[in-house]
Amino acid sequence: MTLRQWAGLLPAMLLGFLLGTTVTLKEALAEFEIQESQVEKGEAEVEYRGAVHWGVPKGEEEEEEAEGADAALEEEEEGEGLNQSHDFEFQYGLTDRWMFSTTLLTDEPLEDSFGLRGVELELQYELIEREGDGLGLAFLGAYGIGTRSGVADEIEFGPIVEWETRPLLLTINPFLTAQVGDDRENDGLGFEYGWRAEYKVSRSWGLGVEMFGEIEELAHAGPFDSQTHSIGPTLFYNPGDDDNDVGGEGEDEEDEMPRAAEMELSFNVGVQFGLTDVTSDTALKFQGGIAF
């Protein structure tokens, strides 16, 4: 990287350091992740995801007032609520279509010490390669191994959809889930989703909106307020982005020349606002990755 690139990267590095310190000191919810469809043979990436939240879900507070401390203790024993969580992922492009990744999931439950919650193994297949404007489509299958007592193994699968019409990029992750093993709490399919709309404001910076949600069991989804849903703004920084199309400008012919592979860094920081009684009032998320 050039001196100019490092100078541009410094503010994001400082912000990432401050947020990492905050995650260590504050309470944190599970990470918020948007999977992307692109696969590049031979490319490796290391990524960190963390989150911090404020505000006990209103549903838990009301239940505690209505049913007493025993009900609140029962909810904690079921694993609801975390003091902090940190995920560390490594992914590698096996071919032009197939990508493998593995993730260490760590957290600190309300009534337990910090430790490893699980290990996730993923395979992703790129069905339609997105080149500039247009559609990108991939399919993901994952198996999560619960390493803490009482945590069930989980299967996750579904499409990754991208649509770009520069300078806007829309990414959607609708995934089905299923718990397996002796520790499973339900036998039906669950549903998790995340979507992101990102608007490129410069070569390296973008602004966007992200939304996440979960239904633990589709057959017993219950009312909207009993499900987890949140939405909020996100700031993106990618100093290695070679897309010079900003604000609808034409392509730069110089960018079409082949380049030697180089290290690429990316960061995003966002705030999520809970939309239901069982979602935290506000949550701060941070994601940083380095590809090489």
* Counted domains in the chain: 1
Identify the CA nearest to 222 among candidates 283, 288, 278, 153. Answer: 278
- 114 in any annotated domain: yes
- Residue 143: the pLDDT is 96
Name the least confident of 62-71, 152-161, 177-186, 269-278.
Answer: 62-71
- Residue 25: the pLDDT is 34
Name the least confident of 19-33, 77-91, 191-205.
Answer: 19-33
- 185 in any annotated domain: yes
- Residue 200: the pLDDT is 96
196-211: average pLDDT: 96
- Residue 29: the pLDDT is 36
- 292 in any annotated domain: no
- 61 in any annotated domain: yes
In terms of DSSP bridges, do strands 228-237 and 205-215 run parallel, antiparallel, or are they unpaired? antiparallel
123 close to 94: Cβ distance less than 8 angstroms: no
If you average pLDDT over every residue of the chain, what do you get? 80
- CATH number for the domain harbouring residue 210: 2.40.160.40
66-74: average pLDDT: 47
- Residue 236: the pLDDT is 97
- Residue 257: the pLDDT is 52
- 113 in any annotated domain: yes
- 128 in any annotated domain: yes
- 264 in any annotated domain: yes
- Residue 286: the pLDDT is 92
Name the least confident of 110-114, 255-259, 276-280.
Answer: 255-259
Q: Is the pLDDT of residue 60 over 50?
A: no
- Domain encompassing residue 248: 3-287
Q: What is the DSSP string of 213-278?
A: EEES-GGG---GGGSEEEEEEEEEE-TT------TTPPPPGGGGS------EEEEEEEEEEE-STT
- Residue 292: the pLDDT is 93
Can you read off the two tokens belonging to residue 8?
């541009």
Highest mean pLDDT among 47-56, 82-91, 267-276, 277-286: 267-276
62-86: average pLDDT: 51
Phi first, then psi, for residue 143 (nearest 5°) are -130, 120
User: Tens digits of per-residue pLDDT, 92-114?
Assistant: 999 999 999 999 988 776 567 78
User: Tens digits of per-residue pLDDT, 135-192?
Assistant: 999 999 999 998 888 888 999 999 999 999 999 999 999 999 999 988 888 889 999 9
Name the least confident of 13-27, 104-118, 123-137, 260-274.
Answer: 13-27
- Residue 281: the pLDDT is 86
